[in-house]
Amino acid sequence: MYKNIDMTKTGILLKETIKKGGYTVKDIQKILHLSCPQPIYRWFKGNVLPSVDHLYVLSKLLGMHMEDLLVTEQEDISLTELCIDRISDHKWLYEYRTRLCVKECA
């Protein structure tokens, strides 16, 4: 039997993972092409979950599997923190790729 997603714990995990990755809400808003930051804050509060498209982009950005960004009921957030340690280098890699693309595309 599959467990349901715990939206509150998932929101906490998303907030901490994004923060540990070195990203701000404004960064995520820009990367996901959102017109305002409110959806991101709703994710953090556990009011709603990111769409599959946004979850996919976040997983690539943070170097994690999509499933690792979700917390199921009765799951401890600390179990998923094992994956968070490797995030710090991903913001640097993303920025490097962005600068590289700008130079090559110019």
Q: Is residue 1 part of a domain?
A: no
Q: Is residue 11 part of a domain?
A: yes
Residue 87 belongs to what domain range? Answer: 7-105
Nearest Cα to Cα of residue 2 among 104, 75, 59, 60: 75
Query: Phi and psi at residue 23, in whole multiples of 5°?
Result: -100, 150
Residue 82 DSSP code = G
CATH number at residue 98: 1.10.260.40
Q: Is residue 2 part of a domain?
A: no
Q: Is residue 21 part of a domain?
A: yes
Give how many domains the chain has, as a whole number.
1
User: How do residues 1-16 score in pLDDT, each as one tens digit?
Assistant: 567 999 999 999 999 9
User: How do residues 5-56 score in pLDDT, each as one tens digit?
Assistant: 999 999 999 999 999 999 999 999 999 999 999 999 999 999 999 999 999 9
Q: Is residue 97 part of a domain?
A: yes
Residues 6+ apart with CB under 8 A from 47: 7, 11
Q: Is residue 65 part of a domain?
A: yes
pTM of the model: 0.71
Q: Is residue 78 part of a domain?
A: yes
SS3 label, residue 72: strand
